[in-house]
Amino acid sequence: MIWTYLLILSVVQGITEFLPISSSAHLILVRDLFLALGVPVSEGGAADELALDIALHVGSLGAILLYFRKDVTQLFLGLADAVRLRPSDNARMLMLLTVATMPIIVAGFLLKDIVTYMLRSVEIIAWMTIIFGVLLYVADRQPEHAHSIEKMSFRQAIVVGLAQCLALIPGVSRSGIAMTAGRLTGLDRPLSARFALLLSLPTIAGAGLLATVDLYRAGDARLTGEALIGGLFAFVAAWITVALLMKWLQRYSYTPFVFYRLVLGILLLVLIYAFGWSPGVAAA
Residue type, 146: A
pLDDT at 100: 96
pLDDT at 119: 61
Helix (H, G, I), strand (E, B) or coil at 2: coil
CA dihedral in degrees (132, 136, 138, 139; nearest 10)?
Answer: 130
pLDDT at 46: 58
Is 96 contained in some domain? yes
Number of domains in the chain: 1
Alpha carbons 27 and 164: distance in angstroms, whole number: 20
Alpha carbons 240 and 90: distance in angstroms, whole number: 27
Is 280 contained in some domain? no
pLDDT at 284: 38
In 3D space, the residue among 52, 30, 49, 5 whose CA is nearest the CA of residue 229 turns out to be 52
Alpha carbons 207 and 58: distance in angstroms, whole number: 10
In 3D space, the residue among 64, 47, 49 whose CA is nearest the CA of residue 9 turns out to be 49
In eight-state DSSP terms, residue 187 is B
DSSP H/E element including 144: none
Torsion angles phi and psi, residue 15, rounded to 5: -75, -50
Is 186 contained in some domain? yes
Query: Measuring CA to CA, how many Å separate 49 from each of 1, 17, 220, 264?
Result: 9, 18, 12, 26
Helix (H, G, I), strand (E, B) or coil at 70: helix
DSSP H/E element including 270: helix 255-273
pLDDT at 113: 63
Is 215 contained in some domain? yes
Helix (H, G, I), strand (E, B) or coil at 251: coil
pLDDT of the chain along its 284 residues, tens only? 577 888 898 999 899 999 999 887 787 778 777 777 776 666 555 556 667 777 888 899 999 999 999 999 999 999 999 999 899 999 999 999 999 999 998 887 777 666 655 566 788 889 999 999 999 999 999 999 888 988 899 999 999 999 999 988 888 999 999 999 999 999 999 999 999 999 999 888 877 776 677 666 766 555 667 888 889 999 999 999 999 999 999 999 999 999 999 999 999 899 889 988 776 544 43
pLDDT at 114: 66
Alpha carbons 166 and 72: distance in angstroms, whole number: 26
Is 282 contained in some domain? no
Which residue segment(s) compose the domain that 41 sits in?
A: 3-273
Is 260 contained in some domain? yes
Is 174 contained in some domain? yes
Is 39 contained in some domain? yes
In SS3 terms, 53-79 reads as HHHHHHHHHHHHHHHCHHHHHHHHHHH
Residues 6+ apart with CB under 8 A from 245: 18, 19, 193
